[in-house]
Amino acid sequence: MKEITAKEVEQAIMQGETPNLIDVREVDEVATGHIPGIIHIPLGLLEFRVQDLNKDEPYIIVCRSGARSSRAAEILEGKGFNVSNMVGGMLSWEGEVQ
């Protein structure tokens, strides 16, 4: 599984890139703060929402600490998606939060 650090994601955003970020935390967790522009799909609903995603696009998966996003990345990789897990999750995020 590919991994990316929170700092690398933040730098990409600061350089004008718009990575496809999927936050797999629960609704109440996302409400406390999330990376602007993120796609929210709780882990429990991911398999039901796969059809909403584009296999031609790379995705970065985010959660609180990196564990759920690792599981989500495994699920999506198994379905043929190009995904990276943001290690450390939101606990490592130092960038802008909405």
Nearest-angstrom CA–CA distance, 33 and 28: 9
- The answer to whether residues 59 and 22 touch, using CB atoms and an 8 Å cutoff, is yes
User: What value does the mean pLDDT of the chain take?
Assistant: 96
Stated pTM of the model: 0.94
Known catalytic residues are: 63
Q: Which helix or strand (DSSP H or E) is residue 5 part of?
A: strand 2-5
Q: How confident is the model at residue 51 (pLDDT cuts 50, 70, 90)?
A: very high
Which helix (H) or strand (E) segment is 61 a member of?
Answer: strand 58-62
What are the angstrom distances between the C-alpha of 80 and each of 58, 76, 86? 11, 6, 18
- Banded pLDDT at 69 (limits 50, 70, 90): very high
> Tens digit of pLDDT for each residue in 23-46?
999 999 999 999 999 999 999 999
pLDDT of residue 11: 96
What is the structure's pLDDT at 22? 98
Beta-bridge mates of residue 20: 59
Chain CA centroid to CA 87, Å: 10
- Per-residue pLDDT, 72: 97
Answer yes or no: are the C-beta atoms of 50 and 44 closer than 8 Å: no
